[in-house]
Amino acid sequence: MRAAHDVDRQALTRMFNVLIDTSVCLDLAQDQRQTPLIDPLITMISHGYVNLLVPRIVLIEFQKNRQRVVERAQRSLSTHFNLVKDAIRKVDGESNEVARGKRIS
Protein backbone atom coordinates (compact mmCIF):
# COMPACT_ATOMS: atom_id res chain seq x y z
CA MET A 1 0.00 0.00 0.00
CA ARG A 2 1.37 3.40 -1.01
CA ALA A 3 1.13 6.58 0.97
CA ALA A 4 -0.71 9.53 -0.59
CA HIS A 5 2.47 11.56 -0.90
CA ASP A 6 4.11 8.72 -2.90
CA VAL A 7 1.27 8.84 -5.43
CA ASP A 8 1.63 12.62 -5.76
CA ARG A 9 5.37 12.27 -6.29
CA GLN A 10 4.79 9.69 -9.02
CA ALA A 11 2.20 11.90 -10.71
CA LEU A 12 4.65 14.80 -10.78
CA THR A 13 7.25 12.68 -12.54
CA ARG A 14 4.79 12.15 -15.41
CA MET A 15 5.04 15.63 -16.86
CA PHE A 16 3.62 16.11 -20.32
CA ASN A 17 5.33 18.36 -22.82
CA VAL A 18 2.76 20.31 -24.84
CA LEU A 19 3.89 22.15 -27.95
CA ILE A 20 1.73 25.12 -28.95
CA ASP A 21 1.88 26.18 -32.58
CA THR A 22 0.83 29.55 -33.96
CA SER A 23 -2.67 28.55 -35.06
CA VAL A 24 -3.48 27.04 -31.65
CA CYS A 25 -2.10 30.09 -29.88
CA LEU A 26 -4.16 32.46 -32.03
CA ASP A 27 -7.30 30.31 -31.66
CA LEU A 28 -6.97 30.34 -27.88
CA ALA A 29 -6.61 34.12 -27.94
CA GLN A 30 -9.46 34.99 -30.29
CA ASP A 31 -12.16 32.36 -29.81
CA GLN A 32 -14.11 32.79 -26.57
CA ARG A 33 -15.26 29.17 -26.83
CA GLN A 34 -11.65 28.17 -26.11
CA THR A 35 -11.56 30.07 -22.80
CA PRO A 36 -12.60 27.03 -20.70
CA LEU A 37 -9.40 25.31 -21.84
CA ILE A 38 -7.10 28.01 -20.49
CA ASP A 39 -7.77 27.72 -16.74
CA PRO A 40 -7.18 23.95 -16.53
CA LEU A 41 -4.03 24.36 -18.64
CA ILE A 42 -2.71 27.05 -16.29
CA THR A 43 -3.51 24.83 -13.30
CA MET A 44 -1.70 21.84 -14.81
CA ILE A 45 1.32 24.00 -15.63
CA SER A 46 1.44 25.51 -12.13
CA HIS A 47 1.26 22.03 -10.55
CA GLY A 48 4.02 20.73 -12.77
CA TYR A 49 1.90 18.27 -14.77
CA VAL A 50 2.44 20.10 -18.05
CA ASN A 51 5.47 21.78 -19.54
CA LEU A 52 4.32 24.26 -22.20
CA LEU A 53 6.67 24.53 -25.16
CA VAL A 54 6.24 27.71 -27.22
CA PRO A 55 8.77 28.14 -30.01
CA ARG A 56 10.17 31.64 -30.52
CA ILE A 57 8.55 31.85 -33.98
CA VAL A 58 5.12 31.38 -32.36
CA LEU A 59 5.77 34.35 -30.05
CA ILE A 60 6.91 36.46 -33.02
CA GLU A 61 3.91 35.51 -35.14
CA PHE A 62 1.54 36.11 -32.23
CA GLN A 63 2.96 39.60 -31.76
CA LYS A 64 2.52 40.30 -35.49
CA ASN A 65 -1.11 39.14 -35.43
CA ARG A 66 -2.03 40.50 -32.01
CA GLN A 67 -4.02 43.53 -33.22
CA ARG A 68 -5.92 41.45 -35.77
CA VAL A 69 -6.79 38.91 -33.07
CA VAL A 70 -8.06 41.66 -30.77
CA GLU A 71 -10.21 43.18 -33.54
CA ARG A 72 -11.64 39.80 -34.52
CA ALA A 73 -12.43 38.94 -30.89
CA GLN A 74 -14.16 42.32 -30.44
CA ARG A 75 -16.29 41.78 -33.56
CA SER A 76 -17.19 38.29 -32.40
CA LEU A 77 -18.19 39.54 -28.95
CA SER A 78 -20.21 42.40 -30.46
CA THR A 79 -22.04 39.95 -32.72
CA HIS A 80 -22.76 37.70 -29.74
CA PHE A 81 -24.17 40.62 -27.72
CA ASN A 82 -26.37 41.67 -30.65
CA LEU A 83 -27.76 38.13 -30.92
CA VAL A 84 -28.52 38.13 -27.20
CA LYS A 85 -30.23 41.54 -27.44
CA ASP A 86 -32.32 40.35 -30.40
CA ALA A 87 -33.34 37.22 -28.51
CA ILE A 88 -34.36 39.29 -25.47
CA ARG A 89 -36.41 41.65 -27.66
CA LYS A 90 -38.11 38.69 -29.32
CA VAL A 91 -38.98 37.05 -26.00
CA ASP A 92 -40.12 40.40 -24.59
CA GLY A 93 -42.31 41.00 -27.66
CA GLU A 94 -43.85 37.55 -27.38
CA SER A 95 -44.52 38.10 -23.67
CA ASN A 96 -46.26 41.39 -24.44
CA GLU A 97 -48.39 39.73 -27.13
CA VAL A 98 -49.43 37.00 -24.70
CA ALA A 99 -50.24 39.61 -22.04
CA ARG A 100 -52.32 41.63 -24.54
CA GLY A 101 -54.10 38.46 -25.66
CA LYS A 102 -55.08 37.66 -22.10
CA ARG A 103 -56.47 41.19 -21.62
CA ILE A 104 -58.54 40.96 -24.81
CA SER A 105 -60.06 37.58 -23.89
pLDDT tens column, 30-60: 777 777 888 888 899 998 899 989 999 999 9
Judge if pTM exceeds 0.85: no
- The helix/strand/coil state of 17 is strand
- For residues 92 and 40, which has the higher predicted lDDT (pLDDT)? 40
Opening angle at CA 68, ends 28 and 21, nearest 5: 40
Cβ–Cβ under 8 Å, residues 22 and 58: yes
Q: What's the pLDDT score for residue 57? A: 93
Q: List the beta bridge partners of residue 18.
A: 52
How many independent structural domains does the chain possess?
1
Cβ–Cβ under 8 Å, residues 12 and 49: yes
- The helix/strand/coil state of 58 is helix
Length of the chain (residues): 105
Domain limits at 72? 4-104
